[in-house]
Chains A and B, each alone.
Chain A
Amino acid sequence: MSQKTMRDAINEALHQAMEQDESVFVIGEDVAGCQGSAGEVGSVGGVFGVTTGIYNRWPDRCIDTPISESAIVGAAAGAALVGMRPVAEIMFADFIGVCMDQIVNQMAKFRYMFGGKSRCPAVIRFSAGGGFSAAGQHSQAMYQVMTSFPGIKVVVPSNAYDAKGLLLSAIADDDPVLFFEPKVLYQEACEVPDEMYTIPFGEAAFVREGDDVTVVAFGQMVPKAAAAIDELAAEGISCDLIDPRTTSPLDENAILESVEATGRLVVVDEAPPRCGLTADIAGLAADRAFASLKGPIKQVCAPHSPTPFSPELEAAYLPDIPKIKAAIKATMA
């Protein structure tokens, strides 16, 4: 056990999965890097450094590709269909726009359309989310969109410990898994065991426990919500903070049981509101825990807008601690 960043925790999970199972391989753009160049192949390890060192140990199972997102996802889906366990990297979640058919119409549909006779144990990893002034085509969360498609599992870790355990579950899973890594959290560290461990899908984490308000947050919003809740503790407000960790499958029971106990719900996500996770969770509570609710459900999310470039605009765009605190207090009013 030692302090590890989310980047290092994911990297360690990849190393351990590669070590344990020869059917696991990594594929993507610059996952090794420097192919065909004068430089040392393997010295990039992905643009965020997440696949560092994999090529050096398993050059045959760390596969650089051209810039061809559809072919990357398709190749992962096809290899998985015949028994391999690929872990593909798509550099930015926004590039789902380039390879959406292979995800949504192909890999997500195999098992169902083929009468349950196929398995597609592919993992697609993405860097996701805002916070880098990376503007409209490199900042989107995207996981909320993918959650709406049956046939794929969707993982959104909020810390290094969860990221490692969830990725090892993803690689072992027999169905396609989309794994969204909030890129502003890559450098955030926490205690992470050295050995392999798994975290089951569909099991939410209670990051804080309290009596007054249930707060559900996703990805990079989890640490922000925790900070908001800790500040409110001084004002005598105590909250449950639920991190679902996987949005598909979703731990409905954890959310409903908490709402039944507190009677108040705030849902926090960085994506825009329409057809998003905040509306989805609010709908769940309104449908299944209405009698317990003491007041309106509050959604804290980005406005209905692409992600702006300018730092001031992005700061206004993304939910922050004051907005989360205000929403929690509004449910207490």
Chain B
Amino acid sequence: MSIPTQALSNAYRLMKTIREFEERVNAEIMNGQIPGFTHLYTGQEANAVGVCAHLDTGDTIISTHRGHGHCIAKGAEVSGMMKELFGSSEGLCKGKGGSMHVADIDKGILGANGIVAGGPPISVGSALAAKIRKNGKVAVSFSGDGSVNQGTCFEAMNMAVVLQAPAVFVIENNYYSEHTNISYAVGCDDLKARTEAFGFPVFVADGADFFAVHEAAGKAIAHARAGNGPAGVFAEQGRYHGHFVGDPQHYRGEGELDDLRENHCCLKNFRARMVETGEVGNDVLDAIDAEVMAEIEQAVVDAKAAARPTPEQVTQDVYINYGAGA
């Protein structure tokens, strides 16, 4: 499948934006600027971007605790996200949700999610709405290798088949559910076969290769959009950081992280491919890098200057307001 040059540049820009957003968030956490629990997506950028390249605003995604990349790939505004992570009332969720709950419903982003496998059932609901409305939309749920062992994930997959809903289950295998390797946590040897046994096709891709993810996701999303029921994408790619920021990562082998950054980098792979094909010049990519760095810097400046929430906002958006409490 050939991808237009503008789409290629845009995909690179999004991957670079996610990379730099995450690395800056990591630094700001170390500086004590960002509170709470934060899980970084660094290294897995091609998954989100390769999938979301096939979506428009009418399609939905639902994400995970490691959700910044999915949100950026689906069009969430970086500045609003950064403000949210800083806890500002100007953030995308008014400082109520933070890192684990970034959402932008108008853009089809049904939220990052702090519950492992909380997302897939909700995504089936969005897919069901598309089926009832006959509008050709699809619903994508991103979830990790840890999520596939939750009952909610099993239930969502089976029900999507039963209802023939246009749901796309993107399983991102970063090899570790928190601190436990997939080889321990998934009992069977062939997770693809186990998933396909629910009754839908699964397309596997190297998650460090934007083009591989793009191709696999293209097949899955076309399958769902055409009314053939759900489909799956398995993208395999390790994360560059711990489960959460501050994780000592005892589970890593010697040299594992260096190998990931050196030999499994979607940005490097993308650039190498562009040198090969000549579709987008290095100068263009360098210019994108500079623009992204400036955008992230500005987002942090804006987040630090943004308004802080005030106590009366605690009880806003609860449907029922008994006042500020005792």
Q: Which residues in A have some Cβ–Cβ distance to B below 8 Å? A: 29-30, 33-40, 43-44, 47, 64, 66-71, 94-95, 97-98, 132-138, 272-273, 278, 298-306, 308-313, 316-317, 319, 323, 327
Q: Mark B286-326, 1 if CB is under 8 A from A, else 0.
A: 00000000000000000000001111011100101111111
Q: Are B326's CB and A309's CB within 8 A?
A: no
Q: Are A67's CB and B326's CB within 8 A?
A: no
Which B residues are in CB contact (< 8 Å) with A43?
250-251
Q: How large is the interface on B (under 10, 10 to 19, 20 to 34, 35 or more residues)?
A: 35 or more
Name 29 A/B residue pairs within 8 A (Cβ), A-sorted: A29-B178, A34-B250, A35-B185, A36-B180, A36-B183, A36-B184, A37-B179, A38-B256, A39-B252, A40-B250, A44-B251, A64-B180, A66-B149, A66-B185, A67-B147, A67-B149, A94-B115, A95-B115, A98-B115, A136-B101, A137-B101, A137-B118, A301-B326, A303-B314, A306-B318, A308-B96, A310-B88, A310-B308, A312-B87
Tell me the dominant secondary structure on chain A's binding face.
loop
Q: Mark B238-281, 1 if CB is under 8 A from A, else 0.
A: 00000000000111111010000000000000000000000000
Q: Are B178's CB and A47's CB within 8 A?
A: yes
Given the interface pairs A308-B314, A312-B308, A323-B326, the reply to whether A134 lies near B177 with Cβ below 8 Å is no
**16 further A-B pairs in the complex, CB-CB below 8 A; given A40-B250, A47-B179:** A30-B178, A33-B180, A34-B181, A37-B253, A38-B256, A39-B253, A64-B180, A66-B146, A67-B150, A94-B115, A133-B98, A304-B318, A311-B35, A313-B87, A313-B95, A313-B313
Q: Mark B119-153, 1 if CB is under 8 A from A, else 0.
A: 00000000000000000000000000011011110
Given the interface pairs A37-B176, A309-B101, A310-B95, the reply to whether A67 lies near B146 with Cβ below 8 Å is yes
State in angstroms the CA–CA spacing of A298 and B176 once bound together: 48
Q: Please tell me if B186 contacts chain A, counting CB pairs below 8 Å.
A: yes
- The residue of chain B having its C-beta at the shortest distance from the C-beta of A267 within the complex is B326
Q: Please tell me if B201 contacts chain A, counting CB pairs below 8 Å.
A: no
Q: Are A68's CB and B181's CB within 8 A?
A: no
State in angstroms the CA–CA spacing of A66 and B308 once bound together: 39
Q: Please tell me if B182 contacts chain A, counting CB pairs below 8 Å.
A: yes
Give the Cβ gap from A152 to chain B, nearest Cβ, in Å.
21
Which B residues are in CB contact (< 8 Å) with A309?
35-36, 87, 93, 95-98, 101
Given the interface pairs A138-B100, A308-B96, A310-B309, the reply to whether A29 lies near B150 with Cβ below 8 Å is no
Q: Please tell me if B9 contacts chain A, counting CB pairs below 8 Å.
A: no
Give the Cβ gap from A215 to chain B, nearest Cβ, in Å.
13
- The residue of chain A having its C-beta at the shortest distance from the C-beta of B37 within the complex is A134
Which B residues are in CB contact (< 8 Å) with A38?
251-254, 256
Q: Please tell me if B89 contacts chain A, counting CB pairs below 8 Å.
A: yes
Q: Please tell me if B227 contacts chain A, counting CB pairs below 8 Å.
A: no
State in angstroms the CA–CA spacing of A33 and B181 once bound together: 9
Which B residues are in CB contact (< 8 Å) with A138?
37, 100, 114
Q: Please tell me if B233 contacts chain A, counting CB pairs below 8 Å.
A: no
Which B residues are in CB contact (< 8 Å) with A303?
314-315, 322-325
Give the Cβ gap from B263 to chain A, nearest Cβ, in Å.
16
Given the interface pairs A38-B256, A135-B96, the reply to whether A298 lies near B251 with Cβ below 8 Å is no
Q: Are B308's CB and A97's CB within 8 A?
A: no
Given the interface pairs A138-B100, A309-B98, the reply to whether A273 lies near B250 with Cβ below 8 Å is no
Q: Are B250's CB and A97's CB within 8 A?
A: no
State in angstroms the CA–CA spacing of A68 and B324 once bound together: 37
Q: Are B181's CB and A35's CB within 8 A?
A: yes
Give the Cβ gap from A172 to chain B, nearest Cβ, in Å.
30
Q: Are B326's CB and A299's CB within 8 A?
A: yes
Looking at B89, B100, B254, B320, which has the most chain A CB atoms within 10 Å of its CB?
Answer: B100
Q: Are B87's CB and A68's CB within 8 A?
A: no
The one of B150, B318, B322 that contacts A98, using a Cβ cutoff of 8 Å: B150
Q: Mark B162-177, 1 if CB is under 8 A from A, else 0.
A: 0000000000000011
Q: Are A29's CB and B180's CB within 8 A?
A: yes
- The residue of chain A having its C-beta at the shortest distance from the C-beta of B35 within the complex is A133
Q: Are B87's CB and A302's CB within 8 A?
A: no
State in angstroms the CA–CA spacing of A98 and B310 once bound together: 32
State in angstroms the CA–CA spacing of A327 and B176 once bound together: 48
The one of B101, B185, B310 that contacts A67, using a Cβ cutoff of 8 Å: B185
Q: Are A97's CB and B115's CB within 8 A?
A: yes
Q: Which 5 pairs, one residue from A and one from B, show the smallest C-beta to C-beta distance?
A: A38-B253, A36-B184, A36-B181, A303-B325, A309-B98
State in angstroms the CA–CA spacing of A71 and B269 once bound together: 40
Looking at B36, B180, B253, B320, which has the most chain A CB atoms within 10 Å of its CB?
Answer: B180
Q: Please tell me if B116 contacts chain A, counting CB pairs below 8 Å.
A: yes
Given the interface pairs A67-B177, A95-B115, A303-B324, the reply to whether A313 lies near B98 with Cβ below 8 Å is no
Within 8 A of A (CB), among B208-259: 249-254, 256
Which B residues are in CB contact (< 8 Å) with A300?
326
Which B residues are in CB contact (< 8 Å) with A35?
180-181, 184-185
Give the Cβ gap from A320 to chain B, nearest Cβ, in Å.
11
Given the interface pairs A36-B185, A273-B326, the reply to whether A313 lies near B146 with Cβ below 8 Å is no
Which B residues are in CB contact (< 8 Å) with A36?
180-185
Q: Are B179's CB and A137's CB within 8 A?
A: no
Q: Are A310's CB and B87's CB within 8 A?
A: yes
State in angstroms the CA–CA spacing of A80 and B155 once bound together: 27
Q: Are B87's CB and A311's CB within 8 A?
A: yes
Given the interface pairs A66-B186, A300-B326, A309-B36, the reply to whether A135 lies near B180 with Cβ below 8 Å is no
Which B residues are in CB contact (< 8 Å) with A308?
95-96, 309, 313-314
Given the interface pairs A34-B251, A309-B101, A312-B87, the reply to whether A135 lies near B150 with Cβ below 8 Å is no
